Amino acid sequence: MTYAIRAEGLAKRFKETRALDGVDLEVPAGTVLGLLGPNGAGKTTAVRIFATLLRPDGGRAEVGGYDVVRDAGRVRSLIGLTGQYAAVDENMTGTENLLMIGRLLGMPRGAARARSTELLDRFHLAYAAGRAVKTYSGGMRRRLDLAASLVGRPQVLFLDEPTTGLDPHSRGEVWDMLRGLVAEGMTTLLTTQYLDEADRLADSIVVIDNGRVIADGTPDELKAQVGGQVLYLQPVRAADLAAAHALVAEEAGPQTATEGDGILAPVNDPALMPRVVRRLDQAGIAVGELTLRRSSLDEVFIALTGHRAEPQTAAAAGGETADPDPAAAPAPAGDTDPDDRYAQTRSPS
Ligand SMILES: Nc1ncnc2c1ncn2[C@@H]1O[C@H](COP(=O)(O)OP(=O)(O)O)[C@@H](O)[C@H]1O
Ligand SMILES: [Mg+2]
CATH value at residue 85:
3.40.50.300
Q: How far is the CA of 123 from the centre of ligand 1 (A)?
A: 31
Q: Does the beta carbon of 83 lie inside 6 Å of ligand 1?
A: no
pLDDT value of residue 169: 87
Q: Which of 44, 50, 194 to mutate to test the pocket of ligand 1 (most atoms within 8 A of CB)?
A: 44
If you compute the radius of gyration of the chain from its CA atoms, what whole number of angstroms results?
22
Residue-number span of the structural domain to which 274 is assigned: 227-294
Q: How far is the CA of 17 from the centre of ligand 1 (A)?
A: 8
Ligand approaching nearest to the C-alpha of 316 = 1
Q: Which pLDDT band, with edges at 50, 70 and 90, does 342 fall under?
A: low
Q: Does the beta carbon of 39 lie inside 6 Å of ligand 1?
A: yes
Q: Quick one: 273 and 235 in the same domain?
A: yes
Of 96-110, 202-216, 221-235, the one with minimum mean pLDDT is: 221-235
**At 302, which helix (H) or strand (E)?**
helix 297-305
- What is the C-alpha to C-alpha distance for residues 138 and 171, in angstroms, rounded to an integer? 10
Q: Quick one: 76 and 190 in the same domain?
A: yes
The total number of structural domains in the chain stands at: 2
Q: Quick one: 264 and 240 in the same domain?
A: yes
Q: Does the beta carbon of 17 lie inside 6 Å of ligand 1?
A: yes
Report if pTM > 0.95.
no
The atom of ligand 1 lying closest to the CA of 211 is 14
Q: Does the beta carbon of 44 lie inside 6 Å of ligand 1?
A: yes
CA distances from 115 to 3, 122, 146, 152, 198 (A): 28, 10, 13, 9, 30
The verdict on residue 319 lying in a domain is no
Average pLDDT over residues 235-250: 94
Q: Quick one: 14 and 65 in the same domain?
A: yes
Q: Quick one: 136 and 261 in the same domain?
A: no
Q: Quick one: 32 and 105 in the same domain?
A: yes
- What is the C-alpha to C-alpha distance for residues 240 and 77, in angstroms, rounded to an integer? 58
Q: Quick one: 234 and 189 in the same domain?
A: no
The verdict on residue 337 lying in a domain is no
The verdict on residue 50 lying in a domain is yes
Share of the chain above pLDDT 90, in %: 58
Average pLDDT over residues 267-288: 90
Ligand approaching nearest to the C-alpha of 320 = 1
Q: Does the beta carbon of 262 lie inside 6 Å of ligand 1?
A: no
Q: Does the beta carbon of 193 lie inside 6 Å of ligand 1?
A: no
